[in-house]
Amino acid sequence: MRFGDIGGPGGRLIHGAQDPLPRVEGRRDTAGASGSPMAGRVRPPVLTGRRAAADRYVRPMGPPPFLHPFAPPAASDFTTIVRGEGAAVFDADGRRYLDAMASLWYCNVGHGRSEIVEAVATQMRALASFHAFDRFTNEPADALCELLARLAPMPGARVFLTSSGSEAVETAMKLARLAHVRAGHPERTIVVGRRRSYHGVSYGGVSVQGLPLNQEGFGPLLEGTTQVDHDDLAEVTELFEREGDRVAAVLAEPVIGAGGVIPPTPGYLKGLRQLCDEAGALLVLDEVICGFGRLGSWWGADRYGIRPDLVTFAKGVTSGYVPLGGVLVGRAVREPLEAEAGFILRHGHTYSGHPTACAAALANIGILRDEQLLERAEQVGGRLGLGLSGLAGDGVLAEARGVAGIWAAVLPEEVAATEVRQGLLDRGVIARPIGTDVIAFCPPLVMPDADLDHCVEALEASVAEARARARV
Ligand SMILES: Cc1ncc(COP(=O)(O)O)c(C=O)c1O
């Protein structure tokens, strides 16, 4: 196939060439004397040389080749982010934005942390990657799992590694079923999720999660999954009365994140733990957002004082510098799996235990600990939470809810979340609209107080603007 043949629908190459890979080169900004923030930095690669002029792909009008996740496939208007520093990111036109969502709920230590960059580069020079199937291992993976086992909210945990939260959820669901099979209860296959919860996009996670829009068009979904209300223990009790002896596990986010930032009502998670114990079901906490300091503790389980059987994590484990996820595997699951010496766990990903990702996690966790960012999460909550609650008190918002580093601004009825998001962008703040009435905030834990205040002020102005438009 010639490169010209893969120009995409309606695309064409000027002078189509055989070689599909244009040469690229890092550019070094030379505007040092001008005090440009880009001075001395290596900028993103660009096409160079004669070939660049000759082979430049001419994109047709319409969407670009990059098919974006959770976006309209027909969209063609995107904001190109080129650089990050602390709690801010910059677009290709040099505009600065406060990253009030820690990218996508993950950049807990902030952008541009050279400690992580150095740890990754050092590891890559020694061994970028080697698999950990069967008898192979590597030092960063061993060190990370040892550290995570010590930090785990349950005693005696082991750690299974993945590259994403969805893979972690999939792993937890499979391990829960498998543990019951190995313990002599193959009839325990039902996995219970909560309405409004989010557990990723793989078939297990998308089947058990509780946001119906995410399931539309993807059926048939995974058999043996069901949902209960996110806040109603009576519904769990009824479900267990009907089919408790067939339930493998219940999945719960300590604080629901992508479903609208919903903290648990007091006693809910402890009650869920108790009901699972009585029914013989495993409790899986999905801590993909809540873990690694977001709630002011290493785990949501710590904050709410419960011991889960399995914990899924991702995002904040590396602050997103390299993709990584995993599952903390407690005794109730590991013991039946370990009981027979010859039994083989036939589950794992090519990159389970990726040494470079693990090196990034070790450096990231070091920063969380050394800079007391768990404590800082509480201060973020104090400042941001107080600001948002003030807006709710003044009638600017319908409600403010959240814990430590994660908050929802619930908008008044006449105001659309997408409109407010645009107002925030215009004021240099990236926050995330959820549904029609929520703007989520989940800033890097290093965001300074003045910037947190700016988020609140920008929200107030954006809501006022949207309201004024709604009145016209
Ligand atoms: C609670 C929860 N679980 C699972 C996932 C899926 O993680 P990933 O997008 O890394 O697959 C997410 C992602 O936002 C999440 O918030």
Q: Is any ligand 1 atom within 6 A of the Cβ of residue 253?
A: yes
In the CATH scheme, what is the code of domain 99-109+372-471?
Answer: 3.90.1150.10
Encoding tokens for residue 345?
């766990």
From-to residues of CATH 3.40.640.10 in the chain = 114-370
Along the chain (472 residues), what's the average pLDDT of each consecutive run of 10 residues?
34 42 46 40 46 54 94 97 98 98 98 98 98 98 99 98 99 99 98 98 98 98 98 98 98 98 98 98 99 98 98 99 99 98 98 99 98 98 98 98 98 97 98 98 98 98 96 82
CA nearest neighbour of 128 among 143, 116, 140: 140
* Max intra-chain CA distance, the chain: 73
H/E segment holding residue 409: strand 406-410
The answer, yes or no, to whether the previous bond of 69 is cis (omega within 30 of 0) is no
Q: CB neighbours of 410 closer than 8 A, spacing ≥ 6?
A: 392, 397, 398, 399, 400, 401, 437, 438
Q: Quick one: pLDDT at residue 21?
A: 57
Q: Is any ligand 1 atom within 6 A of the Cβ of residue 323?
A: no
Q: Which atom of ligand 1 is nearest to the CA of 325?
A: 10
Contact in structure between 374 and 298 (CB atoms under 8 Å): yes
Contact in structure between 436 and 430 (CB atoms under 8 Å): no
Cα(202) to centroid(ligand 1), Å: 10
Pocket test for ligand 1, best of 106, 107, 108, 166 (most atoms within 8 A of CB): 166
Q: Quick one: pLDDT at residue 206?
A: 98
Q: Quick one: pLDDT at residue 60?
A: 63
H/E segment holding residue 458: helix 449-471
Q: Quick one: pLDDT at residue 170?
A: 98
Q: Is any ligand 1 atom within 6 A of the Cβ of residue 320?
A: no
| Residue length of the chain | 472
What residue's CA is closest to ligand 1, atom 13?
A: 200
Which amino acid type is present at position 223?
E
Q: Quick one: pLDDT at residue 38?
A: 41
Q: Quick one: pLDDT at residue 61?
A: 75
Encoding tokens for residue 273?
């733990």
From-to residues of CATH 3.90.1150.10 in the chain = 99-109+372-471
How far apart (Å, rounded) are the C-alpha atoms in residues 171 and 164?
11
Contact in structure between 46 and 25 (CB atoms under 8 Å): yes
pTM, two decimals, is 0.90
Cα(431) to centroid(ligand 1), Å: 17
Cα(222) to centroid(ligand 1), Å: 18
Count of beta carbons in the 10 Å neighbourhood of residue 37 = 12
Q: Which atom of ligand 1 is nearest to the CA of 169?
A: 4
How far apart (Å, rounded) are the C-alpha atoms in residues 322 and 311?
20
CA 46 to chain centre: 29
DSSP state of 202: S
Q: Which atom of ligand 1 is nearest to the CA of 165?
A: 7
Cα(288) to centroid(ligand 1), Å: 6
Cα(166) to centroid(ligand 1), Å: 6
Instruction: Quickly name the fold that domain 114-370 has.
Output: Aspartate Aminotransferase; domain 2 (3.40.640)
What residue's CA is closest to ligand 1, atom 7?
A: 165
How far apart (Å, rounded) are the C-alpha atoms in residues 277 and 283?
8
Contact in structure between 357 and 368 (CB atoms under 8 Å): no
Place of tokens 């659309």: 416
Cα(33) to centroid(ligand 1), Å: 43
Q: Quick one: pLDDT at residue 471?
A: 86
How far apart (Å, rounded) are the C-alpha atoms in residues 109 and 90?
17
Q: Quick one: pLDDT at residue 26?
A: 42
How far apart (Å, rounded) are the C-alpha atoms in residues 250 and 230?
12
Q: Is any ligand 1 atom within 6 A of the Cβ of residue 258?
A: yes
Count of beta carbons in the 10 Å neighbourhood of residue 381 = 20
Contact in structure between 171 and 156 (CB atoms under 8 Å): no
Pocket test for ligand 1, best of 171, 199, 321 (most atoms within 8 A of CB): 199
Question: Residue 134, SS3?
Answer: coil
